[in-house]
Amino acid sequence: MSQPSKKDISRKYLDIQTSICSAIERADGTGIFIKDHWSREQGGGGLTRVLSDGAILEKAGVNFSEVYGKLTDLMRKNLNVDAHNFFATGMSIVMHPKNPHVPIIHMNIRYFELDNGTYWFGGGIDLTPHYINKSQASYFHKKLKEICDRHDPSYYPKFKKWADDYFFIPHRNETRGVGGIFYDHLSEDESHSKNDIFSFSTDLGEIFSEIYTYLINENKGKSFSAQEKEWQLLRRGRYVEFNLVYDRGTKFGLYSNGRTESILMSLPRDASWYYAHKVDDGSQEKKTLELLKKNIDWLNLQ
């Protein structure tokens, strides 16, 4: 079997974007993704698709990009590579629901290639519930383990730990949510061909709609109070802190002179910060904070 070209990979990611937008529109019921085609002066462009004020989703973005050109000194330093030109394509998703019982979800799949022949795949998916539901967190991790095990049984434990370490807010000493999987710099070796890794990347992209539609349907009918809505806005504030301070994709987009609106698509419409906010012992908010830790076995949590 021939290896996928960078154009093959880009076209597949664009197809997955289309499929996800259609599935999420059905799950939301009223929201429609608008299309925003954009170009990058230095080379390439993309398609940002955003849904606003749907029945379920307050703001959802599914971004596709294919950019290329010369590596700047800042990009070379950030990526720790020695090359002159690059090609990068990928798809990123963030969804912010209206109901505090529906979780935030993020996914990213991407491919990077240099003019010296080096290439790699990266990506990840993580779940950020405003209120952690243990059975739903377990469902999420089991679906990810199924995808990983289909390709390599070592993937899930390795990439789950990587996600715990990556989706972590050091200045808060808490994870962003219940984690998921994260991987980077995957390229062919004695055990995995380029096709194998590409297939893993696309399988992850294609499972997204099933996972999030399930979580929407499990939670969309739950009532919520003003206090729970306030807590949701505070948790969104933590999400903003991570994305603006630590997220590699945000940094790469800004370093590569990417399109600012698309790069910051991941931010919620509304968020809150209260000074020295405290939660009550025994409250659902406190119970959620107690589970925002690394190395939790979500597959078997009671």
- 3-class DSSP state of 241: helix
Question: 127 has which bridge partners?
Answer: 105
Catalytic residue chosen out of the listed positions 96, 101, 106, 130: 106
| Residue showing tokens 């290639």 | 113
How far apart are alpha carbons 100 and 231 in whole angstroms? Answer: 8
The helix, strand and coil proportions of the chain, stated in percent and rounded to the nearest 5, come to: 40, 25, 35
Backbone angles phi, psi at 40, to 5 degrees: -110, 125
Residue with tokens 């600012």: 260
106 is catalytic: yes
Distance of alpha carbon 107 from its chain centroid, rounded? Answer: 3
Of 15, 117, 16, 98, nearest in space to 60 by CA: 98
Task: Return the half-sphere exposure (C-beta side, CA atoms, 13 A cut-off) of residue 89.
Answer: 20
Tokens at 129, concatenated: 């519930």
Token code pair at residue 188:
């062919």
Assess contact for 3 and 195: CB atoms under 8 A: yes
Hey, which residues are catalytic here?
106
